[in-house]
């Protein structure tokens, strides 16, 4: 069964509109909600065109999105996004969608880039706890390593140093 036969262009555009403009259509240029409908796209009848009354810019449902400016229909992009969620390879996606592998590669690259651009970097605050940490505190017993590096590790002569590093002495013979 071909996944594309289950998707409808009208439904795909309705979903895009609902997610993009949950409180009504807004101009992607000036963000005003004073818009008029300007008919439909000739090639994709479900694609609505608009004109902003505030800035006079024309736009459509896909303007400013990762889906804009491509020759594949929106249902191919939506199906590709779904198949990427299933962790399929580009070759498998191309086979499932009935497109060539280069188009599948471009599609997945654009979708991944759009996800990265839309995501925000989390800010950590407060106390952050970590589990295991491996620190090299020196080269005890490896004088050749210290000489080879020319003391580039901070010139600590094999002893651990640094702010915030606490050492616990467990065996008096382990310190030289």
Q: What pLDDT score was predicted for residue 157?
A: 47
Distance CA 94, CA 98 (A): 6
Distance CA 70, CA 77 (A): 10
Phi, psi of 124 (to 5 degrees): -90, 140
pLDDT of 105 > 60? The answer is: yes
| DSSP code at position 6 | G
pTM recorded for the entire structure: 0.56
Write the pLDDT tens digit of every residue in 134-173. Answer: 766 666 777 777 677 665 544 444 444 444 445 555 555 5
Q: Which residues pair with 40 in a beta bridge?
A: 48
Phi, psi of 34 (to 5 degrees): -90, 85
Q: How far, in Å, are 21, 90, 94, 110 from residue 84 at the CA level? A: 24, 8, 11, 12
Q: Interhelix angle for 74-85 vs 9-20, to 10°?
A: 70
Share of the chain above pLDDT 70, in %: 75
């Amino acid at each position: 069964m071909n996944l594309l036969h289950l998707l409808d262009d009208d439904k795909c555009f309705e979903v895009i509109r609902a997610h993009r403009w949950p409180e009504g259509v807004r101009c992607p240029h000036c963000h005003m909600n004073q818009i008029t409908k300007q008919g439909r796209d000739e090639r994709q009848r479900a694609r609505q065109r608009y004109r902003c009354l505030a800035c006079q810019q024309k736009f459509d449902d896909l303007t400013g999105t990762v889906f804009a400016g491509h020759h594949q229909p929106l249902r191919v992009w939506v199906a590709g996004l779904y198949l990427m969620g299933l962790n399929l390879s580009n070759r498998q996606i191309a086979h499932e969608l009935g497109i060539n592998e280069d188009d599948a590669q471009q599609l997945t690259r654009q979708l991944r880039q759009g996800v990265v651009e839309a995501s925000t970097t989390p800010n950590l605050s407060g106390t952050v706890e970590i589990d295991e940490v491996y620190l090299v505190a020196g080269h005890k017993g490896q004088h050749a390593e210290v000489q080879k590096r020319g003391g580039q590790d901070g010139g600590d002569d094999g002893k651990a140093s640094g702010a915030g590093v606490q050492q616990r002495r467990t065996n008096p013979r382990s310190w030289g």
